[in-house]
Structure 1
Amino acid sequence: MAAALSFVGLSVALRHLPVGTAYAVWVGIGAVGVTLAGILALGESASPLRLLFLAGITSSVVGLVLIES
């Protein structure tokens, strides 16, 4: 179910963004989402360095969307 919703989100993004940007955003959101799920649901490490890199991915995704809109 989550994979299907993810592909729907990607197809919506492709209507507004170039394919390279849309794919990068899709992958970034997935990477951050899975990592946060691991931290919250599975008790994985939430070290400051790990959170810093997640913030870097998030800010990069936001930056890509902002420069394309």
Structure 2
Amino acid sequence: MEWAVLVVSGMLEAVWAAALSASRGFSKRGPTILFGVALMASMAGLGYAMTAIPTGTAYAVWVGIGATLTALWGIVSGQERATVARGLLLLLLIVSVIGLRVFA
């Protein structure tokens, strides 16, 4: 259960990162509210996951999922360029997160 919560929390990290960007310095109400809600839920989930998963592993997985999805969102939304190097590095990040789950 803790691993499932950790994965969802990592996904919410990407939501709050994208919402933070869309809030334009907290000047837009909708994205600012989404940022706050997603941030609180993401942190609460990370905290819960850390009750059963070692802190370093939980944090690395959480950040890895959030960073990967945030980068993918940037590519899909056209804010960042898709390159072979970026794709390979994101793949390495994904493999690393899976490795932490398998070997932790």
Query: Percentage identity across aligned positions?
Result: 44
In the other structure, the counterpart of 2:8 is none
Could you report, residue by residue, the CA deviation over 1:9-56 in whole angstroms, capped at 9, with x for unpaired residues? Answer: 312321331000000011111111110110011341111110000000
C-alpha distance in 2, partners of 1:40/1:4?
A: 25
TM-score (norm 1): 0.84
What RMSD over aligned residues (CA atoms) do the two structures have, in Å?
A: 1.4
Aligned to 1:58: 94
| Structure having greater relative contact order (Cα 8 Å, sep ≥ 6) | 1
**Separation of aligned partners in 2, 1:42 and 1:50:** 14
Under a length normalisation based on structure 2, what TM-score does the superposition of the two structures give?
Answer: 0.59
Unaligned runs of 5+ residues in structure 2 are 1-36
Q: Which amino acid aligns with 2:74?
A: G
Q: Following TM superposition, where does structure 1 have runs of at least 4 consecutive aligned residues deviating by more than 2 angstroms? A: none
> What 5-or-longer segments of structure 1 have no aligned partner?
none
Larger Rg: 2
Q: How many residues align?
A: 68
Cα distance in 2 between the residues matched to 1:14 and 1:63: 18
